Amino acid sequence: MKTVFINGSPKKRFSASAYFLFLQRLFTGGQTVTEKLRTPADHSRILEQLRGADAVVFCLPLYVDGIPSHVLRFMEEMEAFCRQNGLHLNVYCIANNGFIEGRQNEPLMQIFEHFCARSGLTWSGGVGIGGGVMLNVTRILFVVNIGLLALNTLLSVINTGSFFPQEAWISFAENAALLLYFNLGVLYYMIRMGCHIRKGTFSGKKYTRILIPSFVFIIFADIFFIIISLFEGGLFRGWLAKKPYEKI
Ligand SMILES: Cc1cc2nc3c(=O)[nH]c(=O)nc-3n(C[C@H](O)[C@H](O)[C@H](O)COP(=O)(O)O)c2cc1C
């Protein structure tokens, strides 16, 4: 069984889509191929991978309640390619968005459903994930957590000769459990969808989110975007900054 994973985020590195794609691959098994879709130069390479594949999994961000335009362009080409070559793949989708409700991905899922109907492909369902940016940050925090544990262990060996600094391990376990908890909804639906991909069956449309209360999410999101805005030219992403005058 061959499954092609397509990362539809335009970001070169650290995209939330790459994180969810990594998790879904863990739970899928069989032969898997991962492709990045960023520019039209990627189209022919990805289309060739679709020959002989059983399933394709799109992992992509929600843009303005829909599909990013560069992915739409690819889908237009894919529609013609699948018709010409008589491909009947199962299509799955993992969409993530910045706001907290995963259900905001519903219009995107419907677009995929219609795309499959037009292309002669089998719409097999997807997972819509809210709070994608924040979930992506949890993986970075996990790596930082491991780094701190390693540092504490090194200091403990130097100072006391002990390879097992108890307090550091307890703190690591607590933090790791918390980060795991935030991701539980995502993990559950990905394990579930992995079973369906393996069996080639319909997994339904499922929506989940980072498992924190909305009011906590809003506070952290506000702090995050104020900091990002300051780095990117002033408050509100530079909206208040003076713009150079453009002659038309
Ligand atoms: C142009 C643009 C439009 C976006 N539109 C939405 C939106 O309509 N709703 C939403 O919740 N998030 C929206 N977002 C946020 C992204 O969906 C979010 O940052 C996502 O986690 C990015 O995924 P990636 O890291 O895989 O690219 C938008 C982001 C951009 C850059």
Is residue 76's pLDDT more than 70?
yes
**Gap between the Cα atoms of 129 and 99, Å rounded:** 9
User: Which atom of ligand 1 lies nearest, measured to the CA of 60?
Assistant: 26
For residue 92, the cross-strand partners are: 57
**Gap between the Cα atoms of 227 and 243, Å rounded:** 21
**Which tens digit of pLDDT belongs to each residue from 197-247?**
999 999 999 999 999 999 999 999 999 888 887 777 666 656 666 666 666
According to the model, what pLDDT value does residue 182 have? Answer: 98
According to the model, what pLDDT value does residue 48 have? Answer: 97
Closest CA to 9 of 43, 60, 62, 58: 60
**Which is it for strands 90-96 and 122-130: parallel, antiparallel or unpaired?**
parallel
Q: Considering only residues 233 and 30, tell me which one the structure prediction assigns the higher pLDDT.
A: 30
According to the model, what pLDDT value does residue 241 have? Answer: 64
Question: What b/e string do you get for 143-166 counting C-beta neighbours within 10 Å, with b at 16 or more?
Answer: eebeeebeebbeebeeeeeeeebe
Please say whether the beta carbons of 156 and 124 come within 8 A.
no
Q: Name the one residue in this structure whose structure tokens are 């607590």.
A: 174
According to the model, what pLDDT value does residue 227 have? Answer: 84
Q: Provide the mean pLDDT of the chain.
A: 94
According to the model, what pLDDT value does residue 224 have? Answer: 85
**Which tens digit of pLDDT belongs to each residue from 83-139?**
999 999 999 999 999 999 999 999 999 999 999 999 999 999 999 999 999 999 999
Best mutation site among 72, 97, 104 for ligand 1 pocket (most ligand atoms within 8 Å of CB): 97
CA angle, 130 then 68 then 219, to 5°: 30
pLDDT above 90 coverage of the chain, percent:
88
Edge-to-edge strands of the sheet including 31-36?
A: 31-36, 2-7, 55-61, 90-96, 122-130, 205-209
Q: Which residues does ligand 1 sit against, CB inside 6 Å?
A: 9, 11, 15-17, 61-65, 96-99, 104, 132-133
Token pair of 157 as six digits: 């060996």
Q: Which domains does the chain have, with CATH numbers?
A: 2-238 (3.40.50.360)
What is the band of 66 on the pLDDT scale with cuts at 50, 70, 90? very high
The mean pLDDT of 176-197, rounded to a whole number, is 98
How far is Cα of residue 4 from the mean position of the Cα atoms in its chain? 15
